[in-house]
Amino acid sequence: MMPDCFRYRITVRNAFFIALIIYVLDQITKYLAKQNISPFESIPVTSFFNLVYVENLGSAFGMFQSMGVYFFIAVAFIATILVTALILKDPQNRIAFSLVLGGALGNLTDRLVHGGVIDFLDFHVAGHHWPAFNVADMGLTAGILMLLASAFFGEDAGNKKT
């Protein structure tokens, strides 16, 4: 059964507004991190959370750094166009696509301006650190998880013809 929040349809305008909110929050928090945290400095906030400043030159978790910044700029640009088209075309998944769009634009802006993505949120347990991430990554992850949930648990998931 699909949660009711996934069935909520929003207008195209509201979808782009959600994307804008994710983008602005992402850019503001990255600016604050860059201004207030030295590279590789770790500021403990709780016993399991630190603020850090890391420039990620690769994709998720720093993978594929050898592909270069221009590859990631091209991928993000193409993804932005595709997700924008999906927002216009798929009203059932606009919320998810708007989160993905805001996140993709946030990280694309970093690559264009800084040559890499600024990450600053560091969660850890017993000395094991999750790779640092940012608000754009949270938007991307939440949107992708919503799309996966919709694909696997949506009303049409069991009725798809192959």
Domain contains 111: yes
55 falls within a domain: yes
Does residue 160 lie within any of the structural domains?
no
Q: Which residues contact 134 (CB under 8 A, 6 or more apart)?
A: 26, 29, 30, 106, 107, 117, 118, 119, 120, 121
Quote the CA–CA distance of 128 and 147 in Å, as a whole number.
29
DSSP helix/strand/coil, 109:
helix
Tens digit of each residue's pLDDT (9 = 90 or more) over 37-77: 998 799 999 999 999 999 887 655 555 555 667 887 888 89
> Taking Cα atoms as reference points, which of 136, 133, 144 lies closest to residue 25?
136
The answer as to whether 162 is a domain residue is no
Number of domains forming the structure of the chain: 1
For residue 47, tell me if it sits in a domain. Answer: yes
pTM for the full predicted model = 0.86
Query: What pLDDT was estimated at residue 58?
Result: 60
Does 4 map to a domain? Answer: no
156 counts as catalytic: no
Catalytic pick among 26, 110, 119, 122? 119
Q: Is residue 146 over pLDDT 50?
A: yes
Active site residue 26: no
Selected catalytic residue, list 26, 110, 122, 137? 137
More confident residue, 88 or 65: 88
The phi, psi pair for 155, rounded to 5°, reads -60, -35
**Residue 120 structural domain:** 11-153
Mean pLDDT of 22-32: 98
